[in-house]
Structure 1
Amino acid sequence: MSKGSNMQPIIELTNVTKVYPNGVKGLNNLNLSVEKGEFVVIVGLSGAGKSTLLRSINRLHDITEGDIKIDGQSITTAKGKSLRHIRRDVGMIFQSFNLVKRMSVLKNVLTGRVAYYNFLKSSLGLFSNEDKLRAYEALERVGLESKLYNRADELSGGQQQRVSIARVLTQSPKIILADEPVASLDPKTTTQVMDDLRKINQDLKMTVMVNLHSVELAKKYATRFIGIRNGEIVLDCPADQITDDKIKSVYTASKSQEAK
């Protein structure tokens, strides 16, 4: 969080450590604050802890130590209804799209509203007209309103990822987490997807955190750079202060670090 700000961070990690059952430490005593409206890009080598960080924020992974707060509420200790309500505020976009391939685009997008319904209504697909309109508007935002009744598996990979963005928008979250959302896409489609995320960030003031392998993409879209190595934050700076040497430091450990 920037110095001098009195705003409550939208995401706050305090002394967060994640140790996997095999003893591997995915995150090591992380402290991080993210303000509302930031576009944060996380970079680092494969296995550095980028995905573990995102999945811990929305509690797809339980952390071993520390605490994570979403808009002031601890998602680490939340249970039952409280946990469901906090999770509604956190949308997740995956590299593999996570769509139900045989369902229509509209039905896939409407699953973003499941957390707002009881089990019976959501399992029967009894969504309100208001939510159907919300889903249509989300598809319109990503330029896929004409694909409303297509099956998801009839779409290209890039279109499927944009459907997953529309699904997250329909959820009406405060935060969007995107785990390597363009890793399997061609350059043109990559630009479309990243442009969509930036426009959502700018127009709707949603906080966006994205894991990326491409440093060039990170430079183009981030307002804030975070570099992770061996489960630790080794770089955290505004995008306009990033340099090649700072980026290099994320991928190159010093001799003292290598000796650990």
Structure 2
Amino acid sequence: MTEKPVIEFKQVSKKYPNGTVGLKNINLKIPQGEFLVIVGLSGAGKSTLMRTINRMHDISSGDILIDGESIVNLKGKGLRQLRRKIGMIFQNFNLVNRSSVQRNVLSGRVGYYSTWRSMLGLFSKADKQKAVEALQRVGLGEKLYTRADQLSGGQQQRVAIARAFMQDPKIVLADEPIASLDPLTTDSVMNDLKRLNEEFHITVIVNLHSVPLARKYADRIIGLRGGELIYDEPIEKVTEADLDAIYEPAVETKTVKSAEGTPSEVIS
């Protein structure tokens, strides 16, 4: 990988207070503009890996670099600035149900305002217009003044995507964004994420359980099992057999492939 990575994991491990291993010795480089899909069984470490990128989870050892700078010790203003450039999309949408769609989308700009201005909703005319454009981009321009709880699940998730776009993010993290959606709505949400990726060169990282969707949208797929990175290949090298192996029960030591081209043995 010749391009300087926007995100780099160096020997990253995460152990929870109860002793559960979330991540184990992760080494990973993610270039700007990549659409990366993470696959694996429930509990494999997918959400943990993703949430270390915006410091929703702290790591136990190793280092994480964004744009070549370590983020593991950021506090205060430095941490706020990091999170300002990383959009997060959740499985359960994380909208304020009793607020309008406009207010939910504008909340993506709070990192650019003082606390009192954002609490009072004193957003600029330019940002209000930006919110309109963000909603139009996801096909919801007519829902500007609708309450969030009056929308369908798919519409709520697309509002969440518009909110992330309002941050002018360099990176978007989507944690099982289509888990509770029907197939038709799933395609709409994934297409919106892909457009963000392609039109604005935003790095998009998505956790998915659906292998067909992973193959349809990803530039690259990585697989986790038991907190370990066991698979890493660009989409043109991904095979059905590879993906089946990621979901096999962990019963033996296997040699797996990586994007660096070096096989390695892990306990699976």
**TM-score, L = length of structure 2:** 0.93
TM-aligned CA deviation for residue 245 of structure 1: 1.6
Tell me which residue corresponds to 1:132.
Answer: 128
Task: Give secondary structure in 1 for the equivalent of 2:229.
Answer: strand
Please give the alpha-carbon distance, in whole angstroms, between the structure 2 residues aligned to 1:201 and 1:168. Answer: 12
Please give the alpha-carbon distance, in whole angstroms, between the structure 2 residues aligned to 1:133 and 1:259. Answer: 52
TM-aligned CA deviation for residue 249 of structure 1: 2.0
Tell me which residue corresponds to 2:85.
Answer: 89
Of 39, 42, 47, 1:43 maps to: 39
Deviations 1:218-260 (A, max 9, x none): 0000000000001011110001110112112211235237988
Partner amino acid, structure 1, of 2:132: Y
Cα pair 1:178 1:210 within 8 Å, conserved: yes
Q: What pairs up with 1:153-232 in 2 under 5 angstroms?
A: 153-232=149-228
Please give the alpha-carbon distance, in whole angstroms, between the structure 1 residues aligned to 2:178 and 2:111. Answer: 26
Tell me which residue corresponds to 1:27.
Answer: 23
Partner amino acid, structure 2, of 1:255: E
Please give the alpha-carbon distance, in whole angstroms, between the structure 2 residues aligned to 1:24 and 1:81. Answer: 31
Of 148, 154, 160, 1:152 maps to: 148
Unaligned segments of structure 2, at least 5 residues: 255-265
Partner amino acid, structure 1, of 2:183: P
RMSD value over aligned CA atoms? 1.3
| Aligned: 1:58 with 2:46 | no
Task: Give secondary structure in 2 for the equivalent of 1:32.
Answer: strand
Q: What pairs up with 1:86-125 in 2 under 5 angstroms?
A: 86-125=82-121
Aligned residues: 256
Task: Give secondary structure in 1 for the equivalent of 2:5.
Answer: coil
TM-aligned CA deviation for residue 73 of structure 1: 2.2
Task: Give secondary structure in 1 for the equivalent of 2:253.
Answer: helix
Please give the alpha-carbon distance, in whole angstroms, between the structure 1 residues aligned to 2:233 and 2:33. Answer: 16
Deviations 1:119-148 (A, max 9, x none): 111111111111111111110110001000
Cα pair 1:73 1:86 within 8 Å, conserved: no
Residues 112 and 259 from structure 1, CA distance in 2 versus in 1: closer, same or farther, beyond 3 angstroms? closer
Cα pair 1:105 1:151 within 8 Å, conserved: yes
What is the aligned-residue identity percentage? 59
Task: Give secondary structure in 1 for the equivalent of 2:27.
Answer: strand
Tell me which residue corresponds to 1:80.
Answer: 76
Please give the alpha-carbon distance, in whole angstroms, between the structure 2 residues aligned to 1:186 and 1:259. Answer: 36
Tell me which residue corresponds to 2:253.
Answer: 256
